Structure 1
Amino acid sequence: MKKKELAFFMFDVLYLPKDESFVLSPAKKTGGFYVNTTFMDKTNIKDLMDSYEILNQLAFDLGGKINLAKNCFIKPELLEKMYKEELEEFALLKAKYDPSYLITSNFFETYFPNFFSLESSSQKKATKA
């Protein structure tokens, strides 16, 4: 990563205590750390995205999760792996309280396509019929 042309503007590390039981909280089961990176405009975008890919995989390998509150520069497949248990729980709640899949968002459809895309919800409805 030292070879990448990254121009850091800000680098924050904050402690996250164990959170309340919100289904998609990255600190639901245990405390952890929140790492926020901000870069200058002159940063090479390809190098930045390559670096995020390395950091995201490292976080996953160490049992971590990225925070869903800000920009997510992660491949949907890896994000679904990070949040697999939580997404399964969330999908059950959604099926119970929104069986017609009326409430949705571009974020969920983009980053969790195997759980919340229009195609997956149509398949689930067809399977139930």
Structure 2
Amino acid sequence: MKQLLEKHGKTHFNGCLPAYDGRKGFYTAGALPFTSKDFNIKLIDRDESGDINCTVVGRSFFAPGFHKSEIGFGVECWKGFYQSLRPTQMGMSLNMGVKVEVAHGESKRYRVSGITSQPTKKLK
């Protein structure tokens, strides 16, 4: 997207900032001056890119610069953000927010056992 906007933003998009949903959707706030157009861009493999320093989980993005802390026992807390495009009565709406994800370390595996249906206040 960055490459496409830098190269063609002023000439083909009339200065509109498009939103891309990461799949097939490409949205702008207004009409574009064309109905169909082909662009040649170089796609970046997220797994091999050194420039993109984010961990992507679904529609959420986590980067070391946002916040990452060790909770203990191999569990980490990551702060990041999520985004999605949603249809509304007034058109498409960009939904963004802060997200906190708790994950175990890559090499840690735990087995949960001894689960009971008793309320915790009755456990001793």
Q: TM-score range by the shorter chain?
A: under 0.3
Question: TM-score, normalising length from structure 2?
Answer: 0.24
Larger radius of gyration between Structure 1 and Structure 2 = 2
Q: Which has the higher strand share?
A: 2
Question: TM-score, normalising length from structure 1?
Answer: 0.23
